């Protein structure tokens, strides 16, 4: 397990599935920290969409805003659910959508962890084009 302190909350996170490594890898990346640093709590208006949150660092940090976690990995969803439980956060505070679902209309914030596959990124950007407005703040990191 590892600890992530950010402007939203202090989190204990673990990778999924858990390993018995002496020096386990942390369950977040520099991109997670960057995306959280770009947000100001007062700026979040409207639905929050989080794309490709590998272990739930973003979803857990922003759980009070009832975010939508959108991705193509069931393992990532399981990891996020486990990290929500580990931090005493109600699992229902995050709504999970697969990458082919319709995205919520008029999101206030979209956080994109850029995926490794260009096809997934293209599909997600096409889906976002249908729902974002000129007021939507979109932040991407890799």
Q: What domain range includes position 29? A: 2-141
Number of H helices, E strands in the chain: 4, 7
Residue pLDDT, tens place only, 55-110: 889 999 999 999 999 999 999 999 999 999 998 999 999 999 998 999 999 999 99
| Measured distance CA(89)–CA(122) in Å, rounded | 32
Q: How many domains does the chain have?
A: 1
CATH number at 119 reads 3.40.50.150
């Amino acid at each position: 397990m590892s600890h992530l302190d950010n402007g939203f909350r202090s989190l204990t996170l673990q990778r999924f599935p858990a390993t018995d490594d002496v020096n386990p890898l942390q369950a977040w990346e520099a991109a997670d920290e960057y995306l959280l640093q770009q947000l100001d709590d007062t700026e979040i208006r409207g639905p929050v969409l989080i794309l490709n949150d590998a272990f739930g660092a973003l979803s857990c940090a922003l759980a009070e805003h009832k975010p939508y976690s959108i991705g193509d990995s069931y393992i990532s969803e399981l990891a996020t659910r486990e990290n929500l439980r580990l931090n005493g956060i109600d699992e229902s505070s995050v709504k999970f959508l697969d990458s082919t679902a319709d995205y919520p209309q008029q999101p206030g914030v979209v956080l994109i962890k850029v995926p490794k596959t260009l096809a997934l990124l293209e599909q997600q950007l096409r889906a976002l084009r249908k729902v974002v407005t000129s007021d939507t703040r979109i932040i991407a990191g890799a």
